[in-house]
Structure 1
Amino acid sequence: MAAWTLMNLVAATKRILMVMAGLTLLAACDPDGKKECAWVLEPEPKLDGQTDPGYIPLCARNRTTMKEDCRLQATLEYAQKVYGRKFRYVDLRVTSAGSPRTIAKIKFCDGD
């Protein structure tokens, strides 16, 4: 009886370790592509009027994974300057957590 219980304990431990390894693997992947250098900022006219005065609504879009974040705003001058430049979503910094979120800084993939 003790040997059977020990075998069950070993088998259960192996299963737990396999599940933990699988969860670690899932947590390490990037299903939304936030670490990919494939994001661009684009104006979003449908959200016009929902930003603070002096700002325009923007979406960060990844056309590879078809993901987007349209809670962003920036000045027209900044939006024109960064239009079409690729960045990683994880390198996007905002000044406010609410909506709309004002873009503070982006580290672009072209090194600037």
Structure 2
Amino acid sequence: MPNQILQVDENMLETKLDRLVSEKVEQLLNAMLDAEADEITGACRRSYTLECKTNAARRALEGEPLARVARDAGCTPTSVYQWMRHYRSEGILGLMDRRNAPMPAEPMPAAGDDVEELRR
């Protein structure tokens, strides 16, 4: 019986990790370049429907290339990347336009605060 219980093909593992890291670095650099290009050219801002953002975020999270998703949505890969991050962390509420997002009816008192004192 060999001394090692688990054997790892280090070359294969290194190759796969290199590919994964390279893809992520490429996506991130492209997103940064797109943002810089938008700023330099003064690209106009456009609003997108919640359905469009959700669809794009889901496609990106499933591994579809950001450039393809952005082309289909008519936006930049930077936008798709941001929508993906917001969707991953906050769900569909993270994609809502902040100006139209539902607001709580009343501010909640902080823990330990006296409600009557806050009303005064």
Q: Same fold (TM over 0.5)?
A: no
| Structure with greater contact order relative to length (CA < 8 Å, sep ≥ 6) | 1
Relative to the length of structure 1, the TM-score reads 0.31
Higher helix share: 2
- TM-score (norm. length: structure 2): 0.30
